[in-house]
Amino acid sequence: MARKAEVQILNAPSDVISSVKFAPKTNQFLLVASWDTSVRLYDVVNNTLRHKFFHTSPVLDCAFLDSVKTVSGGLDNTVKLYDLNTHIEHNLGTHDAAVKCVEYASMVNGILTGSWDRTVKLWDGREKECVGTYDQSAGKVYSMSCIEERLVVATSDRKVLIWDLRHMSNYVERRESSLKYQTRTVRCFPNKEGYVMSSIEGRVALEYFNPSPEWQKKKFAFKCHRSKQNEIEHIYPVNAISFHNVYHTFATGGSDGFVNIWDGFNKKRLCQFHMYDSSISSLCFSEDGSALAIACSYMDEAETPPEPYPEPTLYVRYVSEQETRPK
């Protein structure tokens, strides 16, 4: 029997879905963090909720360290390590404010957490301790992304700090965002050449690490996730970005309820999926690029909430080559 192109996952969280992450080397297991204080593990192939555990406050991000260990953080300021096999949880430590971002850094075999306390911390998951605290003097950490030795941190006052995980005594470079409005998310290119970032004002920018004028000429920004109704342009935040590791194209998700796939290097939109139930709050391609997890959650963007109030929903779309490969 042919597999459906898109599946709605059962037993979605009851409040805003903040983060979706596929397990390494598989498109079967999906980790989901939510404002309902839960972190859930889904078997998306069999459409079952395999496991869930809780924080004491809304969870803002989660990540896999390997196929069985996860890390998560949120408004309780706590970084929690959880073993899906043994069901043992361990509080690694805390920040002085909410933990907004969680990343596994394979190069240093460590856990990176970014917080509204204006720091990034590096944790040793085996020794279960913090091994470094790095001041992001530019503001609260809103989003971060690492690829091998590079760490890109986007902060509350539109600053971007670029770090080298091998030499964390100081950042390598501090940049101003090329987008005029608040940063929503940042993701590094899989080829390590730069990063993509988005803003609340329906724009996405491609930036390059190489400071030479020749490379800097390549950078550009574009408008997206906008619509016209009665000659009035409606502009929506771009909440989520995820890269396809094989083709290096990327998906964006906006508060307009749409997911677009882009070929950034050729400045083209490859496709747009159907309109979803509500705002796209998080996206994640599986490692092989065959599946895209799509989280939909109403994020209080409208002055008056829609009726009926949209419930959070979770989908896995099995994408085709036609949708994701550069033309």
pLDDT tens track for 228-264: 988 999 999 999 999 999 999 999 999 999 999 999 9
pLDDT at res. 91: 95
What is each CA distance from 322 to 8, 249, 266, 267, 318, in whole angstroms? Answer: 22, 12, 16, 17, 12
Q: Does residue 1 register a pLDDT over 50?
A: no
Q: How far is CA 235 from CA 213, 232, 275, 294, in A?
A: 32, 10, 16, 21
> What is the pLDDT averaged over residues 207-235?
94
Q: What would the mean pLDDT of 294-319 be, rounded to a whole number?
A: 91
How does residue 192 score in pLDDT terms, banded at 50, 70 and 90?
Answer: very high
Per-residue pLDDT at 4: 79
- Token pair, residue 314, equals 């979770």
Residues 282 and 240: their CA atoms lie apart, in Å, by 5
Q: Which two tokens stand for residue 292?
A: 């895209």
* Mean pLDDT computed over 106-110: 94
So what's the pLDDT on residue 307?
83
Compute the mean pLDDT over every residue in the chain, rounded to the nearest whole number: 95
Burial of 97 (0-12, 13-18, 19+ CB in 10 A): middle
How large a percentage of the chain has pLDDT more than 70? 99
Residue-range domains of the chain with CATH: 4-321 (2.130.10.10)
CB-based burial label for 272 (10 Å; 0-12, 13-18, 19+) = middle
Provide DSSP, 190-203. Answer: TTSSEEEEEETTSE
pLDDT average, residue stretch 120-131: 94
